[in-house]
Structure 1
Amino acid sequence: MVFKKLLGAVGVGGPSVDTVLDSTTALPGSPLTGRVLLRGGRADVEIEQITLDLVARVEAEGDEGESEGTVVFDRTVVGGGFRLAEETEHAVPFSLTLPWETPLTQLHGQPLGVVLGVRTELAVAGARDKGDLDQLGVAPLPAQEAILEALGQLGWGFKSADLELGHINGTGQRLPFYQELELTPPAQYAHAVNEIEVTFLASPDGMEVVIEADKRGGLFSGGHDTVHRFMVAHHDVARTQWNTEVDGWLRQVLDAHASRTGPYGTQGHGGHGEYGGHGGYADHGHGEHHSGGRRSGPSTGAVVAGVAAGVAVGVVGGMVAAEVVDEIGDAFEGDDDGEDEGGDE
Structure 2
Amino acid sequence: MPFMKMLARLGIGSARVDTRLEHDTVRAGGDLRGLVHIQGGHTAQRIDRIDLHLMAQYLQRDNDRRSALNAVVRTWRVSTPFTLQPHEEREIPFSLRMPAHTPLTERGTPVWIKTALDIDNALNPEDSDRIHVLPHPLLQTVLDAVQHLGFQWRNSYCEAGAPLGRDEPFVQELEFHAGPAWQGPPRTLTVLPFPREDALELVLDLDRGPRGLTSLLEGTGLDSGRRERLVLSASDLSPGAGAVAERLASRLRGRT
TM-score range, shorter chain: 0.7 to 0.9
The answer for unaligned runs of 5 or more in structure 1 is 1-6, 107-111, 257-278, 280-345
Corresponding position of 2:214? none
Is residue 44–residue 84 contact of structure 1 (8 Å, CA) maintained in 2? yes
1:207 equivalent to 2:206? Answer: no
Give yes or no for contact 2:114–2:126 (8 Å, CA) kept in 1: yes
What is the identity, as a one-letter code, of the residue corresponding to 1:15?
A: A
Structure 2 length as normaliser, TM-score? Answer: 0.82
Structure 2 CA distance for aligned equivalents of residues 161 and 35 of structure 1? 30
C-alpha distance in structure 1 between counterparts of 2:205 and 2:8, whole Å: 45
Q: Deviations over 1:262-282 (max 9, x none)?
A: xxxxxxxxxxxxxxxxx7xxx
Partner residue of 1:77? 77
CA distance, structure 2, for counterparts of residue 21 and residue 93 of structure 1: 10
Distance 1:44 1:212, change over 3 A: same
**Structure 1 residue matching 2:75: 3-state secondary structure:** strand
| More relative contact order, 1 or 2 (CA 8 Å, 6+ apart) | 1
Give the letter for the 2:137 counterpart. P
Q: Structure 1 residue 144 and structure 2 residue 100: aligned?
A: no
SS of the residue corresponding to residue 104 of structure 2 reads coil
SS at 1:12 equivalent: coil
Structure 2: runs of 5+ lacking an equivalent: 1-6, 211-221
- Counterpart of 2:178 in structure 1 is 185
Assess if the C-alpha contact under 8 Å between 1:196 and 1:212 holds in 2: yes
Q: Which residue of 1 aligns with 2:155?
A: 160
CA contact (8 A) 1:8 1:129 kept: no
Q: Where in structure 2 are the equivalents of 1:55-134 lying within 5 Å? A: 55-63=55-63, 65-106=65-106, 112-127=107-122, 129-134=124-129
196 and 64 in structure 1: CA distance in 2 versus 1, 3 angstrom threshold = closer
- In the alignment, the residues of structure 1 paired with residue 8 and residue 45 of structure 2 have an alpha-carbon distance, to the nearest angstrom, of 14
Which residue does 2:213 correspond to in 1?
A: none
C-alpha distance in structure 2 between counterparts of 1:223 and 1:174, whole Å: 28
Distance in 2 between the 1:173 and 1:194 partners? 30
Letter of the structure 1 residue corresponding to residue 193 of structure 2: F
Indicate the larger mover: 195-204 or 142-151: 142-151
Contact 2:45/2:85 (CA < 8 Å) preserved in 1?
A: yes
Structure with greater proportional strand content = 2
Tell me by how many angstroms 1:128 deviates: 5.1
Q: Give the conservation status (yes or no) of the 8 Å contact 1:10–1:125.
A: no
Report the RMSD for the aligned CA atoms in angstroms: 2.6
Task: Tell me the distance in 1 between the aligned counterparts of 2:74 and 2:148.
Answer: 35
Report if the CA contact (8 A) 1:105-1:116 is conserved. Answer: yes
Change (3 A) 1:9 1:205: farther
2:251 aligned residue? 252
Give percent identity, aligned residues only: 26
State the number of aligned residues: 239
CA contact (8 A) 1:142 1:237 kept: no
Q: Is the 8 A contact 1:192 1:215 kept in 2?
A: no
